[in-house]
Every structure is written in C-alpha cells, then in structure tokens.
Amino acid sequence: MKTRRTQTIERTRLVPHTVDGETELVLDREKIEVPAPPRDWDQLVRIGVTIGACILVTVALVWSTSAIGGLLALSVVAVVAYAAAVAFDMTWIMCMAVEWLLRYDPARAKTARRAGRWALAVSMAAVFAHGYVFDQPVIGIVGASVSALAKGGWGIAMRVHARPLDDRTQQWFEKRRATLDGQLAMIPIRRELLRGQSMIEAERRALAAENGSADPETSGLPEDVPEDPDPKVSEIRSGRVTTQEAVRNAWDSGIQDPEAVLRIVRSSTGRDVPQSSVDRYLRALRVGA
C-alpha cells in the first residue's frame, strides 16, 4: 500500500496559565502531522517557463551588447561603445517590463508593446550590421534572431501568467483605478499648493517686517485704533519692558527725539522694534500732553 506524504505544521492557541494565583493567557504551541497537498505541477511548469524567459533575455542582452559594442568600437572608445550598446536591448526589455506592469490594462499596454517591437527591430538590425561589416552575414542573421527568440519567450511567459478580464470586470477595474489615480495625483498637488501658500505667507511677513508695518506688540490691530485709550495710564507689566513702557519712560525723562527714543526702546526691550511703532506711541503722548 502506498504511503501518503505528510508534513509537519505548528499550531498555536491561547491557553490560561496560572502562577502564584495570577492567570494570564499564553501561547501553547503544538506540532502535528497533516497530509501534504499534492505537488502542483502546473505551478512548477509556470515557474520554469518564467525562469527560462529570464535566462533568454539575459543571454540576448549579453550577445547583443557584445555584437553591437564591437560594431560601435570601430569609431569610438571600447568602453563607450559597449556602454551605448546596452541601450539597444535594454529599451525593448524595459518595454516588456512596462507591458508586464500594465497586463491588466490592455489599452495602455498596447503602446509599450508597439514601442518594444520597434526597439527590437532596431536592435536586430544593429546585430545584423555587425555581421555584415565583418563579412559574416549568416552570423549576423543568427545573432539577430537571439533577441527575437528572447522576446518571444518572454511573450509566452506573460501569456502563462495572464489573467484576462471580461468586458464588465475590465470596466469596473478601470473605474476603480481612475478613482485611486485621482486621489494619488492630488497628494503632490496639495503638497505643491501648501508649499506655495507657505511661501506667500513667509514673503508677506518678511515684507511687513522690512517696511516696519508690524510690531509684535500691536500685530493685527487696525492702524487707526490707538493702542492705549489713555496715553497717561500705562498697564503695569511684570518681566521685560514693553515697547509702550519704554517710550513712556523716555518721554518722562524729557527725551522726545524719535531716533533717540528708538535707541532707548530697543535697548530696554531687547527687540528690533520698528521706528513706526515708536512714532505711534509718541503721537499718542503728544496728543495727551
């Protein structure tokens, strides 16, 4: 009788465990034998096809780079020639990668597929030209076929992994993707708008400070509203002297020259108070006098 294959798996469950009268739920691990599932030969073949396609693409890239690099080396330095030769096959390989990413969007994948065919044709022509220049046209034809076989192998691998959608499911997918794409697109747009708004606010504050139109003590107050209804009465503040108090102290000391008062105010408050703020307080004191 044939013995059925088994595999060992670990199961965990929460069980109560008591120590010194305190109970906690802990994990109880148990290893059991369960029947092993049958070998998935379809998946193994699918993996083999994919690996084979990748090997073909790698061989084609190496061969084309060697042939086209040898051709270009006739006119430029070898290092530059072989570096440029990589572009010929890398172009259609990149197109195949894009086609893979867009495999659920046939309309967009069509452009990548068409571009890949043109890039493949250019690469094959360059490989053939290498053989033709060295009087070996047969080798040129055979060498050019390597890239064609590689692309064909990748196309077969893509068909193996393809999951075609029916028309209604395709429409549903495209609508959901369009909604998500719109939300993703709004992320950098909002970031750009917020960055621009921040720059405008920073520029506005910088210009206001440069023109002396803003004072930390009176920012946000209308220009025609007096800061103190009665200039003879000053609010008692603890700590650092305010701009109004410094102006009043200078006024009481008999100093009325705006520039002299400004120097005293900046020295007393320790801030770069604008001249316009000092002038407003002086005007209020003159009116009160």
What are the mean pLDDT values of the chain's consecutive 10-residue runs (289 residues total)?
72 88 88 82 88 90 90 88 90 90 85 91 92 89 90 86 84 88 89 86 77 50 46 48 82 82 82 84 79
Number of neighbours of residue 234 by Cβ within 10 angstroms: 14
pLDDT tens-digit profile of 79-109?
A: 999 999 999 989 999 998 998 888 888 888 8
- Is the separation of the CB atoms in 286 and 257 below 8 Å? no
Whole-prediction pTM: 0.54
By percentage, how much of the chain surpasses pLDDT 90? 12
- What is the SS3 assignment for 155? helix
pLDDT tens-digit profile of 228-240?
A: 545 444 444 444 6
What is the Cα–Cα distance from 167 to 172, expressed in whole angstroms?
9
pLDDT tens-digit profile of 38-52?
A: 888 888 888 998 899
Query: How wide is the angle at C-alpha 268 spanned by C-alphas 262 and 271, nearest 5°?
Result: 70
Q: Is the backbone of residue 21 left (phi > 0), alpha (psi -120 to 50) or beta?
A: left
For residue 17, what are its two tokens? 């465990």
